[in-house]
Amino acid sequence: MLVSLQEIGVSFGSTVIFGGVTAEVQENSRIGLIGANGAGKSTLLNTICGDQEYETGELDRKKDLNIGYLRQNSGLTGSNTIQAEMRSVFAPVLKAREQMDALHLDLAECKPDSEEYRRISAEYDRLQAYFESNEGYLIDVKIQTVLNGMGFEDKDADTVISTLSGGEKTRLALAKLLLSEPELLILDEPTNHLDFKTLLWLEDHLEHYRGAVIVVSHDRYFLDKTVQEIWEMEFGEMRVFPGNYTKYKQLKAELMARWEKEYEAQQEQIADMEDFIAKNLTRASTSNMAKGRIKKLEAMERLDRPREYNKKISLRFDFDRDPVKDVLIVQDLSLSVGEGLERKRLFDHLDLHIQRGEKIAVIGENGIGKSSFLHALRGELAPDSGKIRWGQEVKSSYFDQENRQLHPELTVIEELWSRWPRRTETEIRTMLGRVLLQGEDVYKKVGVLSGGERAKLAFAILMMERGNFLMLDEPTNHLDLRSKEILEDALRDYKGTLLFVSHDRYLLKAVPDRIVEIFSDHVEVFNGNYDYYIEKQREKAARQTPPPKPEKQVTASNIGYHRSKQQKAEEAKRRARLRELEQQIEQMEAETAQIEADLAAPDAFAGDYQKMQDACSRLEELKNSLNTAMEEWMELGE
| Domain match, 343 and 456 both | yes
How many whole angstroms separate alpha carbon 426 and alpha carbon 431?
9
Cα 186 from Cα 212, distance rounded (Å): 8
Asked if pLDDT for residue 510 goes beyond 80, the answer is yes
Q: Is the pLDDT of residue 337 over 70?
A: yes
In this structure, the strands spanning 30-35 and 344-355 are unpaired
pLDDT greater than 50 at residue 393: yes
β-strand partners of 123: none
* Mean pLDDT score of the chain: 88
Is 272 domain-assigned? yes
Rounded CA gap, 406 and 398, in Å? 12
For the cut 70, the answer to whether the pLDDT of residue 514 exceeds it is yes
Q: Please tell me whether residues 295 and 404 are part of one structural domain.
A: no
* 338 pLDDT tier (thresholds 50, 70, 90): confident
Which residue did the predictor score with more confidence, 586 or 90?
A: 90
- CA pair distance 256, 241, nearest whole angstrom: 13
d(CA 398, CA 371): 11
Contacts of 244 (CB under 8 A, 6+ apart): 32, 223, 224, 225, 227, 228, 230
User: Which of these three, 541, 571, 603, is where a domain ends?
Assistant: 541
Q: Which of 259, 213, 211 is nearest to 234 (CA)?
A: 259
Q: Could you give the percent of the chain with pLDDT greater than 70?
A: 92
At residue 620, the pLDDT reads 73
Q: Does residue 169 have a pLDDT over 80? A: yes
Q: What is the CATH number of the domain that holds 601?
A: 1.10.287
Q: Where are the alpha helices (DSSP H) in 33-161?
A: 41-49, 82-87, 91-108, 115-133, 139-149
Distant-in-sequence, close-in-space partners of 195: CB < 8 Å, separation ≥ 6: 151, 365, 366, 503
Confidence of residue 55 (pLDDT cuts 50, 70, 90): very high
* Cα–Cα distance, 439 to 453 (Å, whole number): 14
Whether residues 450 and 525 share a domain: the answer is yes
As a whole number, mean pLDDT of residues 152-159 equals: 90
Question: Which pLDDT band, with edges at 50, 70 and 90, does 575 fall under?
Answer: confident
Over range 404-422, report the average pLDDT. Answer: 94
Residue 371 in this model has a pLDDT that exceeds 80:
yes
User: In DSSP terms, which residues pair with 331 in a beta bridge?
Assistant: 387
Pairwise CA distance, residues 348 & 429, whole Å: 45
Q: 35 lies in a domain? A: no
Cβ neighbours, 10 Å, residue 268: 10
pLDDT for residue 149 is more than 60: yes
Give domain status of residue 188, yes or no.
Answer: no
pLDDT at 379: 93
Has residue 531 been placed in a domain? yes
Q: Of 512, 541, 570, which residue is a domain's last? A: 541
Is residue 451 domain-shared with residue 591, that is, in the same domain?
no
Stretch 139-148: mean pLDDT: 91
HEC string of 555-595 equals: CCCCCCCCCCCCCHHHHHHHHHHHHHHHHHHHHHHHHHHHH
Both 290 and 337 in a single domain?
no
Strand 56-61: give its sheet, edge to edge: 15-25, 3-12, 56-61
Residue 566 and residue 537 in one domain? no
Boundary (domain end) residue, out of 513, 541, 569: 541
CA pair distance 224, 199, nearest whole angstrom: 13
Please state, in angstroms and rounded to a whole number, the distance separating the CA atoms of residues 69 and 51: 11
Residue 563 reports pLDDT greater than 60: no
Nearest to 221 by CA among 600, 580, 529: 529
Same domain, 594 and 533: no
Q: Within this chain, do residues 530 and 573 fall inside the same structural domain, yes or no?
A: no
Lowest-confidence pick of 14-18, 344-348, 582-586, 600-604: 600-604
Beta-strand pair 237-242/229-234: antiparallel
612 plus 528 within the same structural domain: no
Q: What was the pLDDT predicted at 597? A: 65
Asked whether residue 549 carries a pLDDT value surpassing 70, the answer given is no
Per residue in 283-325, pLDDT tens? 888 899 999 999 999 999 999 888 764 578 999 999 999 999 9
Q: What is the CATH number of the domain that holds 530?
A: 3.40.50.300
Question: Rounded CA gap, 121 and 570, in Å?
Answer: 12
The answer to whether residue 102 is domain-embedded is: no
pLDDT for residue 635: 73
Please say whether the beta carbons of 71 and 170 come within 8 A: no
Is the Cα dihedral 604, 607, 610, 612 positive or negative?
A: positive
Please tell me the predicted confidence (pLDDT) of residue 25.
97
Q: List, edge to edge, every strand of the sheet that includes 326-337.
A: 344-355, 326-337, 385-390
Same domain as 361, residue 432 = yes
Residue 509 lies in a domain: yes
Degrees, nearest 5: CA angle 518-519-521: 120
Domain contains 156? no
CB 213 within 8 A of CB 189: no
Amino acid identity of residue 292, one-letter, is G
Strand partners, 334: 385
Number of domains making up the chain: 3
DSSP assignment string, 51-78: SS--SEEEEEE-TT--EEEE-TT----S
Domain of residue 403 covers: 326-541
pLDDT bucket at 384, cuts 50 / 70 / 90: very high
Burial-class residue 109 by CB neighbours within 10 Å (0-12, 13-18, 19+): exposed
- What is the pLDDT at residue 608? 62
User: Residue 280: pLDDT above 50?
Assistant: yes
User: Are residues 291 and 358 both part of a single domain?
Assistant: no
Residue 592 has pLDDT above 90, yes or no: no
Confidence of residue 561 (pLDDT cuts 50, 70, 90): very low
Query: 342 and 288 in one domain?
Result: no
Per-residue pLDDT, 633: 72
Asked, for residue 134, whether it belongs to a domain, the answer is no
* pLDDT above 70: residue 609: no
Average pLDDT over residues 213-217: 96
Residue 577's pLDDT band, with cuts at 50, 70 and 90, is confident
Model pLDDT, residue 603: 59
pLDDT of the residue at 4? 97
